[in-house]
């Protein structure tokens, strides 16, 4: 458990430094550690909340949260994150979705368009609710906040400046993590296993420490692009390990 906690701390540090929570990689690490997959989304989402709450508060306090521009993204993402959390999926489907999601996220982090100036503004369109809803549903199913997918999409859309996108993604992760966790906890198969979560208590202070450290490093020490590349390397490595696990599960099932 100490080794897993150390990996969680490193993950929280890297993700918090670029404005994310780390839920996707927490889930992958838990799967690779052979955690009961019913508990994986719950633990990941709780860790997400610990990390991203600090980031959301920091962006809001700095006036970098574009409330009027961002709210359409949440109209469908929050209810669909709850729906995704409520859905009962097989372990094979869960691991497969997680592996593909991590691979796409890692590649997207490596390939991002140059951000717009921070004072860039534009009017909301019909696309925001649809994009938010799709990502919210996926986030709820695999136990993440969805910001790691939203950020590259917003950059590709030329949606706004880097700070506005980072603040929006932090809030997106926060609200979807709350909704997804509520959905997960509404499942009887999850509630019946909560008593075994005590064995994972060390993960929560680990991500809290890593998240605080990452928030400081991201704002004062390293360039965002360098941090994004380091995070992408971690994501792609874990995605590869998870893909191996998925193939093994497929061969066993066959």
Give dist(CA 50, CA 29) in Å, integer: 17
The pLDDT of residue 124: 66
| Residues of the chain falling short of pLDDT 70 | 112-124, 218-228, 253-254
Give dist(CA 29, CA 145) in Å, integer: 16
The pLDDT of residue 219: 54
Distance of CA 116 to CAs 59, 125, 209, Å? 18, 18, 32
Residue 234: strand, helix, or coil = helix
Taking the mean position of all CA atoms in its chain, how far away is CA 145?
A: 4
Q: Which residues contact 125 (CB under 8 A, 6 or more apart)?
A: none
| Tokens linked to 232 | 């992408």
Cβ atoms of 8 and 210 closer than 8 Å: yes
Number of domains in the chain: 1
The pLDDT of residue 121: 62
Q: Can you name the residues that pair with 161 across neighbouring β-strands? A: 116
Q: What is the pLDDT of residues 222-253, one digit of tens each?
A: 566 666 677 778 788 888 888 888 888 888 76
Residue 169: strand, helix, or coil = helix
Give dist(CA 205, CA 81) in Å, integer: 25
Q: Say what the alpha-carbon torsion angle 136, 42, 163, 55 is, to the nearest 10 degrees.
A: 150
Q: What are phi and psi of 199, to 5 degrees?
A: -70, -10
Q: Residue 157 belongs to what domain range?
A: 2-253
Quick count: other Cβ atoms within 10 Å of Cβ 201? 11
């Amino acid at each position: 458990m100490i080794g897993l906690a150390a990996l969680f701390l490193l993950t929280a540090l890297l993700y918090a430094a670029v404005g994310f929570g780390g839920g996707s990689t927490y889930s992958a690490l838990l799967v690779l550690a052979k955690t009961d997959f019913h508990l994986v989304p719950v633990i990941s989402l709780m860790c997400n909340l610990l990390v991203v709450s600090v980031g959301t508060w920091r962006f809001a306090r700095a006036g970098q949260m574009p409330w009027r521009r961002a709210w359409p993204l949440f109209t469908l993402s929050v209810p669909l994150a709850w729906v995704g959390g409520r859905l009962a999926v097989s372990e094979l489907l869960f691991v497969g979705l997680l592996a593909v999601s991590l691979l796409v996220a890692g590649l997207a982090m490596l390939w991002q368009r140059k951000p717009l100036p921070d004072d860039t503004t534009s009017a909301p369109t019909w696309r925001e609710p649809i994009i938010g809803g799709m990502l919210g549903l996926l986030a709820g199913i695999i136990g993440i906040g969805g910001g790691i997918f939203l950020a590259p999409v917003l950059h590709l859309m030329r949606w706004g400046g880097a700070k506005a996108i980072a603040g929006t993604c932090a809030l997106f992760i926060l609200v979807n993590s709350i909704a997804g966790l509520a959905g997960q906890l509404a499942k009887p198969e999850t509630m019946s296993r909560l008593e075994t979560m005590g064995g994972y208590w060390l993960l929560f202070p680990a991500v809290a420490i890593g998240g605080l450290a990452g928030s400081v490093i991201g704002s004062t020490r390293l360039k965002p692009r360098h941090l994004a590349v380091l995070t992408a390397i971690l994501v792609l490595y874990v995605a590869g390990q998870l893909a191996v696990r998925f193939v093994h599960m497929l061969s066993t099932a066959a």
